[in-house]
Amino acid sequence: MSIRQALDTGLPGITRKQGIQFLASAPFREVQPVFEKLFRSQTDQDLLQAVVSSLDSMTDPGVAELLISNWKTLGPAVRGQAADVLLSHRQRIPVFLQAIEGGRIERDVLDLPRTQKLLQNPDPHIADRSRRILGQPPTDRARLMADYRSVVDVTGDAARGRPIFEKQCGLCHLPQKGRRIGPDLSGVSSQTRQQLLQNILDPSREIQPRFTNYLVTTADGRIRDGLIVSESAGTITLRSSTAEDETILRRNVVEIRTSSVSLMPDGFEKSMTRQDLADVIAFLQGRNLEHHQER
């Protein structure tokens, strides 16, 4: 019934989506032809998101190749979701890297957080291979700071800095639906321009203990990262900037590692001009953050 429900174009989208979600519990080889047909039939992108979500729950090696072979049919939102599925399981990551190296997947899908997940992967072979493929040797932050030292002499505009801050930093540093992933910055107005520039360009230099980023590998091969916001004898709860809090049973945890990299990744200077940085610093030195309300 669920297969017919997923493929029947005469049914409402919500009904088809429910059918796709139900297929997540079926063996991959059984539903693979159904998902292939959905990928190749100009299916609504909302339904394809349901397909990708269902694939995320499966551990079959064929999941990675199915996503990669249909990559060109995916819209931007679904591509991002598919990239996260490929990055969430150690078995899929080498296939993902091979697809990037071979040009089947564009490197543009690897934004800063996804790039950091590859470069800081718990498996040193994956991290080294990622560095070779992406052409990103470990960043020399001290040299970068010297290069950007002149930013402190640029006159910033707090009004221009506010929307830049909200776009680049707000997801982590402003409360979202009662949860926050990064430190509250309302008290940073007393910091010097040099201190603020250092914190922006080299966020991993000083990480507050309660904002330590953890890499958690589970028995099914999945790799999660985020803050550990609560613990009990039988569970840990992780919080990331891109998903709801996730509670994991301790008996399913294979390894918990502390990441040397802040949840705020290196490389923000690539998405901002020097004037942008000066404007954000001017905003942070003002009292504006105290007036932000929870969204």
pLDDT in tens, 179-188: 667 777 777 8
Based on the fold, state whether residues 198 and 161 are members of the same structural domain. yes
- Same domain for 190 and 277? yes
Instruction: Classify residue 11: in a domain, yes or no.
Output: no
Distance of CA 18 to the CA centre of its chain: 26
Q: For residue 269, what pLDDT band results from cuts at 50, 70 and 90?
A: confident
Residues present in the chain in total: 295
Banded pLDDT at 294 (limits 50, 70, 90): very low
For residue 225, give the CATH number of its domain.
2.30.30.100
Q: What is the pLDDT of residue 182?
A: 73
Residue 88 lies in a domain: no
One domain, residues 202 and 145:
yes
Give phi and psi for 216, each to the nearest 5.
-115, 120
- Is residue 182 assigned to a domain? yes
222-265 per-position pLDDT tens digit? 888 888 888 887 899 998 876 788 999 999 998 888 776 666 66
pLDDT bin (cut points 50, 70, 90) of residue 159 is very high
Please determine, for residue 195, whether its predicted confidence score (pLDDT) is greater than 50: yes
* Domain identity same for 146 and 247: no
Q: What is the structure's pLDDT at 206?
A: 67
**Residue 153: inside a domain, yes or no?**
yes
Tell me, what amino acid is at 45?
Answer: Q
Q: For 132, how many CA atoms within 13 A lie in the half-sphere containing its CB? A: 10
pLDDT band with cut points at 50, 70 and 90 for residue 110: confident
The answer to whether residues 273 and 185 touch, using CB atoms and an 8 Å cutoff, is: no
Contact 62, 71 (CB under 8 A): no
pLDDT tens by residue, 31-45:
999 999 999 886 788
Write the CA distances from 149 to 16, 115, 128, 134, 152, integer angstroms. 55, 26, 31, 27, 6
As for how many domains the chain has, the answer is 2
Query: Which residues lie closer than 8 Å to 118 by C-beta, 6 or more apart?
Result: 87, 93, 97, 110, 126, 127, 130, 134
Long-range contacts of 179-187 (CB under 8 A, 24+ apart): 179/239, 179/245, 181/226, 181/227, 181/239, 181/240, 181/241, 181/263, 182/211, 182/241, 182/263, 182/264, 183/208, 183/211, 185/284, 185/289, 186/289, 186/290
User: Which domain range does residue 185 map to?
Assistant: 141-206+269-291
